[in-house]
Structure 1
Amino acid sequence: MTVKPITTPLGHSLPPHTPHALTVHLPGWDTFIRLRDGDQEIGKQLKSMYPRFSPLSCVKELGIKLLTHLSFAYPESESDISPTTHGCLPFTTPDAFSLAAAHCISHHRADEHRYSDSDVSKVEFRVVEFWGVPLVPNSAADATATANGTKTATATDKVRLYLVIYPLPKAKGIMGVWTNPGIGISTRLAEVLLPFVPTSSDGDGDSSSPEAEQGGRDMKVLDWKAKGSDFISGTPIKEDIPEPTYLPESDAHEKLRERIVALCQRMPRDVELASRLTTKDVFLYTTGMAAVFRLQEAFLNAGRRGPVVALGAVFHSTFHLFEELEGTTTTNGEEGFKHFGECEDSDKVMDQLEEYAKGLKQKGRKVGYVFVEFPSNPLVVSVDLGRLRKIADEYDFPVVVDDTVGSFCNLDVLPVADVVVSSLTKTFSGYADVMAGSVLLSPSSRYYSLLSSTLTTTHHNALSPSDAAHLLSNSTSYLARSDTHNRNAQKLASFLHTYSTTHQPPRVISRVLYPSIPSTTSSTTGTGYYQQYMRSSTAPAPTGPPYDEMEGNDFFTPGFGCLLSIDFSSKRVAKAFYDHLHVHQGPHIGAHLTITMPFNDLLWGAEERERKYHAGYGAVPEQVRVSVGLEEWEDLKEVFEEALKFAEEEAVKEAAC
């Protein structure tokens, strides 16, 4: 078979394209780097992008319409707001205001992006209110009508948005408040709200209009505004913010919780523990990062104010979030974020963690909690969770496990975790067109009562009913898709590992990182620790509702997940391979199609200090991350074989230099 090039244009999403696509195709290593470094020519070609990175699609359109409306409805505004001079970040929660103000002046911002006192005074906060929003369809017919824009709205659905308005030249200094906490509105919510924004000829909406009172559609800019500087100086204006409406839940929300519980009860390692799970132990969020962010808030609200400790490679937004969250970060680093990066020698890192916890105890302090990805992204390292649990019990700190990469159809970490967080955006959804996240509390945790009461009190729904419904539909095939992901990824990892160990010099691949492949630096890391927490593959598949609704329930076999990484002998060889690899190239994992990216060079390569730090524990720039899709295995194999030929040629040239 002749390998077919990818025909998706640069800047477009993986097919099929929708306004809610999460992916973008960025062919070629240097395309990523140009985008990272701010190349406007690449930026102008983006028709799609991961929505949590920056507002695009319907969210961007909504922001432009709101700014246009503000410029016409309030021409006397001293800030002279317009879409040509300002950007708009819409949220459903007012805490976005304080987060934005703190973020843009933080010492973590680069000098050229950090806001001065003058800059932060130019950030404006506004609140807008929508009435009669058709958020929750009452029937299948209503759902169809809503999608077509014909459903009659009801006055019971009211939505308030909190707008962070900033000068466009200073976008880089404030965009992290959208990216890292992950609490911005979704494209589906924006799509529903777009028709409500008045055009310039409509004037402002009127809260006292008969149409609003009788259930018509309307929008109003509330009589409240503030500047970023108001939230830094500590003036009382922060206490006067209009109360949030949040979003109503639908049947889909509860069915999602039921499905997550059922999956966690499917072939568990601890039957008794799994049987105690209920939907009250599951909390849903707009993104995986929002789940991490709100859980961090819950720990602070519950009094866990010690340092957050992260083990190994963690998702870059998680890393940045832990660096900056109020209450965990201090300038001296002692009582902030502690990172143990090198985890391939699990005994060594557990010794270091134990010594660290012991040192805190001697000072009368405790670890706030330990956060670990199992396995990690992108290094796919699995640590010794059993020993981690023992250390946590001895020194009294919670263990939070992010199982996104392995995914809870394959793994059961509940026996050792106090909390499990998951990005439902990835394989659970599977089609790269909806975002969500979850927090799952373990009923056996000594912190269960504390966290359950805190989250129950503080959790407010921000996941739109349309997103919940779409995620519920997508996840029906979760088990069937995951079965294919597991088989394809394991076959690819085995093929590449065999190639790396048998190929004649000069060397092309240094190592393949995947849980089924033994680690090159430690015989106890990887397969052994991962397999300890795999779900049973021999127990009979459960039957009855809700399992009968899950495609693949009768044949799914737990495996090692969809993610693997490849370390090449040099960055030059890695680029030769990557630039001739005919799969989609962009940020995301768990999609229906294979997608790759130079993860470390993109995210850590711009700044020398960061590059060296992360390379020190294995996140090297010559690594390629691969999220394996649902293609036919033989087709995938030929694509990778073809790319390896170019890598071999480059390795020979490099050796001759």
Structure 2
Amino acid sequence: MPSNSSPPTEIGCPIPANTPHAISVTLPTWQDNIDYEEAVDRVVSRMECGYPRFFIHPQIKKLITVCDQKFAKSTETSLLFPSRKPTQRCRDFIHRYYKPTTPPLTSSSLHTPTPCVRLAEITVIPPDKIKSSFHGSVTLYVVLFPKDAFPIAKSYWQHTGEGLSSRCAEYCLHIMQAKHDEQYSITDNYNEKSTPVSASSRKHTFHKRYSLNTQISNISRDSFSNDVTGPRSPTSPTGLISTDKSATVEENYYVEERYGRNLPISFADKAKIALRRRIAGVLGIEDQYSNKNDDHDNLDDVINRKVENACVTERGVNGVTEDDVFLFPSGMSSIFHAHRYILSGFLPSKSICFGFPYIDTLKILEKFGPGCHFYGNGSTEDIDHITDLLESGEKILALFCEFPSNPLCKSPDLKRLRLLADKYDFLIVIDETIGNFVNVGVLEWADVLVSSLTKIFSGDSNVMGGGLVLNPQRKHYGKLKQLIKQDYEDLVWGEDAIFLERNSRNFRDRILKINENTEELCDFLSKSPKVKKVYYPKYITPEIYSQYKIEKGGYGGLFSLTFYSSKASQQFFDALPIAKGPSLGTNFTLACPYTILAHYLELDWAAKFGVEAGLVRVSVGLENKEKLLEGFQKGLDSIK
């Protein structure tokens, strides 16, 4: 969605509008958000999309239906994953938390029956002439479970962010629906048989995106087939190339690829290298040598160029390279795996969740492993309590925090926490999604840094992704690196990497503009007598934030507002002439009643930590500054 275009206003429409893989969805009024949480039909029946970890994309739903028809009993349904390991973890999670509403009869009443969770694999094989050129087979991994276990299975999908990519599902469906001269087959690995399906029985037209008619921008298909040093995804269709020039090609792909905004899919592995270097802070240094970063050939030059004296990256830590960066399908997946890797390599004990976090971080620490100690205020007094806990002999595995926090924008005292970590030998995992390394330098204080690439790093709200960075200067770096290398799977779908690479090329410039817009908007709102409080790093724990703020950085694009009554919150929100839906870090300004969406069933609990039910969270975009001020003035004027 262009930053100055009108936002969608219809309930359930994608944000951005007309975007097949949009990350956000329109919920334009306060009541719409409440009704969404209460599953009122007038809202949920109109949802064309939603945030992907909470809402299963229509393409994935269709693919689930196919798998249910093939594998499921009448009492079962399924979820899909890109690898065998997540299916096994999902099965274990269901076994742990699922309690059947009607337990099956057993021969002995002394034993609680284990729920029947089955795993299957299904390989989608393209027509021969596509397969031979593009190596486009995809194996889907299926978890089958009782229908009444769906909420448990879905919570695993939500918490871990390991679910199938919607673009992968789209690709598989196009193959399955192909009308082609040849037959194609679906190889059933679970039952060790192959089920051929005649293409003549299909009535759908083979999707033009995956055809073979022309070459791309006069670039040889084999030009990047060698010397790929980055991790290769076993499920990515790295050979697929969008080549059709006809008007029947979907508009979004036509615009993105035929006009050069996106790299061809054959560049997926190169795009992943670029992403890892960009996250490490190396690519920013290399970019100084070129002014043509949108050119395909130039990207290859940048990736292969060695930059002298670049051992200290933009991260401000010696020795960070792309080899210390690992990509994941979502930001929450990077957090989940950071926790999992640490659990696997160190003596299992409780972790600490410091500060009021985004909901799923706490759920991961509570539900996977021994549990956690929660210090939701993230205050100096909380650090005093942690010190007392450690001095009592309690062993801590790791401390997880955000810098700054979402939605209250509090900044934890990293230096003091680091002293405790070094003294009592636990690890620190910092989520820098809200701060980002253009604004703050926090890797120095972390053992592991995690981030959602879905947010400002991408900005376009059309792709998911996550990153994990190891600090090579920390005590446990070698052990962590070994643990990750032994277990890591690159499950980022090739097309998703292509979109992430394109979107993130100008993220530094976007962040600086958003910093400027947000600071002026918050200064304006903080002066209004109708506003109770503005939560923004400039005003919340500024003495801490300033210690980590980079000289040319700012305060980021996120802030929250509270008002003096619930009615005022609703009036303000309903009148705002901006996009309204979940997510943050978008190139356009986006607002939501955060506490309603994230903590609707635990409002009193959230309020104990200062997260009021009437809180409105705002993520500022690239719009004209005067337009933004005018729009928020309209929101204030609506409060009576």
- TM-score greater than 0.5 by the shorter chain: yes
**2:391 aligned to 352, 358, 361, which one?**
358
**1:279 aligned to 317, 322, 325, which one?**
322
**2:537 aligned to 515, 519, 543, which one?**
515
Q: State the Cα distance separating 1:272 from its structure 2 match.
A: 9.8
> TM-score, normalized by length of structure 2?
0.78
Say yes or no: does 1:302 pair with 2:345: yes
Q: State the Cα distance separating 1:271 from its structure 2 match.
A: 7.8
Q: Which amino acid aligns with 2:325?
A: V
Provide the residue aligned with 1:535 in structure 2: 550
1:48-67 aligned within 5 A: 48-67=49-68
Provide the residue aligned with 1:653 in structure 2: none
1:466-477 aligned within 5 A: 466-477=495-506
d(CA) in 2 for partners of 1:90, 1:154: 27
**2:430 aligned to 395, 401, 404, which one?**
401
Q: Which amino acid aligns with 2:380?
A: D
User: Matched residue of 2:189: which SS?
Assistant: strand
d(CA) in 2 for partners of 1:264, 1:613: 43
The answer to whether the 8 A contact 1:8-1:14 is kept is: no
Q: Which amino acid aligns with 1:41?
A: R
Provide the residue aligned with 1:258 in structure 2: 277
The answer to whether the 8 A contact 1:19-1:187 is kept is: no
d(CA) in 2 for partners of 1:441, 1:63: 36
Q: State the Cα distance separating 1:259 from its structure 2 match.
A: 1.4
d(CA) in 2 for partners of 1:89, 1:485: 38
User: Matched residue of 1:289: which SS?
Assistant: helix
The alignment yields a C-alpha RMSD, in angstroms, of 3.0
Q: Which amino acid aligns with 2:121?
A: V
Say yes or no: does 1:94 pair with 2:84: yes
Say yes or no: does 1:221 pair with 2:188: yes
With over 3 angstroms needed to count, the CA separation of the structure-2 counterparts of 1:188 and 1:198, relative to structure 1, is closer
1:130-529 aligned within 5 A: 130-131=124-125, 153-154=132-133, 156-168=135-147, 170-197=149-176, 218-224=185-191, 245-247=234-236, 250-262=269-281, 274-325=317-368, 327-328=369-370, 336-343=371-378, 346-359=379-392, 362=393, 365-499=394-528, 503=529, 508-517=530-539, 519=540, 525=541, 527-529=542-544
d(CA) in 2 for partners of 1:384, 1:264: 29
Say yes or no: does 1:127 pair with 2:149: no
d(CA) in 2 for partners of 1:183, 1:425: 14
With over 3 angstroms needed to count, the CA separation of the structure-2 counterparts of 1:48 and 1:379, relative to structure 1, is same
Q: Which amino acid aligns with 1:495?
A: F
d(CA) in 2 for partners of 1:341, 1:373: 12
The answer to whether the 8 A contact 1:428-1:478 is kept is: yes
Provide the residue aligned with 2:110 in structure 1: none
Structure 1 residues 339-370: Cα deviation after superposition (integer angstroms, max 9, x where no partner): 10012xx32121111112222xx2xx521100
Q: Which amino acid aligns with 2:632?
A: F
d(CA) in 1 for partners of 2:176, 2:313: 52
User: Matched residue of 2:400: which SS?
Assistant: strand
The answer to whether the 8 A contact 2:8-2:17 is kept is: no
User: Matched residue of 1:386: which SS?
Assistant: helix
d(CA) in 1 for partners of 2:283, 2:550: 9
With over 3 angstroms needed to count, the CA separation of the structure-2 counterparts of 1:20 and 1:181, relative to structure 1, is same
Provide the residue aligned with 2:226 in structure 1: none
d(CA) in 1 for partners of 2:177, 2:440: 49
**2:610 aligned to 608, 615, 618, which one?**
618
Q: Which amino acid aligns with 2:85?
A: D
Question: For structure 2, which runs of at least 5 residues remain unmatched after alignment?
Answer: 106-112, 193-232, 239-267, 286-309
Give the length in aligned residue pairs: 535
Q: Which amino acid aligns with 2:375?
A: F
Structure 1 residues 34-72: Cα deviation after superposition (integer angstroms, max 9, x where no partner): 11112123111001111111321322222223334x17x
With over 3 angstroms needed to count, the CA separation of the structure-2 counterparts of 1:632 and 1:304, relative to structure 1, is farther
With over 3 angstroms needed to count, the CA separation of the structure-2 counterparts of 1:414 and 1:121, relative to structure 1, is closer
The answer to whether the 8 A contact 1:133-1:155 is kept is: no
With over 3 angstroms needed to count, the CA separation of the structure-2 counterparts of 1:579 and 1:114, relative to structure 1, is farther
Say yes or no: does 1:641 pair with 2:636: no
d(CA) in 1 for partners of 2:101, 2:450: 31
d(CA) in 2 for partners of 1:311, 1:100: 27
Q: State the Cα distance separating 1:599 from its structure 2 match.
A: 1.0
1:21-32 aligned within 5 A: 21-32=22-33
Q: State the Cα distance separating 1:646 from its structure 2 match.
A: 2.0
The answer to whether the 8 A contact 1:105-1:116 is kept is: no
The answer to whether the 8 A contact 1:429-1:471 is kept is: yes
Provide the residue aligned with 1:581 in structure 2: 576
User: Matched residue of 1:58: which SS?
Assistant: helix
**1:596 aligned to 591, 597, 608, which one?**
591
Q: State the Cα distance separating 1:288 from its structure 2 match.
A: 0.5
Q: Which amino acid aligns with 1:598?
A: P
d(CA) in 1 for partners of 2:152, 2:342: 27
With over 3 angstroms needed to count, the CA separation of the structure-2 counterparts of 1:166 and 1:582, relative to structure 1, is farther
Q: Which amino acid aligns with 1:35?
A: Y
The answer to whether the 8 A contact 2:282-2:321 is kept is: no
Q: Which amino acid aligns with 2:23?
A: L
With over 3 angstroms needed to count, the CA separation of the structure-2 counterparts of 1:4 and 1:455, relative to structure 1, is closer
Q: State the Cα distance separating 1:104 from its structure 2 match.
A: 3.9
> TM-score, normalized by length of structure 1?
0.76
The answer to whether the 8 A contact 2:312-2:319 is kept is: no
d(CA) in 2 for partners of 1:419, 1:121: 36
User: Matched residue of 1:223: which SS?
Assistant: coil
Q: State the Cα distance separating 1:566 from its structure 2 match.
A: 0.5
With over 3 angstroms needed to count, the CA separation of the structure-2 counterparts of 1:4 and 1:264, relative to structure 1, is closer
With over 3 angstroms needed to count, the CA separation of the structure-2 counterparts of 1:154 and 1:6, relative to structure 1, is closer
User: Matched residue of 1:439: which SS?
Assistant: strand
User: Matched residue of 1:490: which SS?
Assistant: helix
The answer to whether the 8 A contact 1:105-1:115 is kept is: no
The answer to whether the 8 A contact 1:96-1:177 is kept is: no
Question: For structure 1, which runs of at least 5 residues remain unmatched after alignment?
Answer: 72-76, 135-149, 203-210, 226-243, 329-335, 520-524, 538-557, 650-657
Q: State the Cα distance separating 1:489 from its structure 2 match.
A: 1.1
The answer to whether the 8 A contact 2:535-2:559 is kept is: yes
The answer to whether the 8 A contact 1:125-1:165 is kept is: yes
Q: Which amino acid aligns with 2:500?
A: L
d(CA) in 2 for partners of 1:101, 1:316: 22
Q: State the Cα distance separating 1:611 from its structure 2 match.
A: 2.3
d(CA) in 1 for partners of 2:315, 2:574: 50
Structure 1 residues 227-263: Cα deviation after superposition (integer angstroms, max 9, x where no partner): xxxxxxxxxxxxxxxxx95547711111111111226
d(CA) in 1 for partners of 2:103, 2:412: 43
With over 3 angstroms needed to count, the CA separation of the structure-2 counterparts of 1:411 and 1:569, relative to structure 1, is same
d(CA) in 1 for partners of 2:413, 2:127: 49
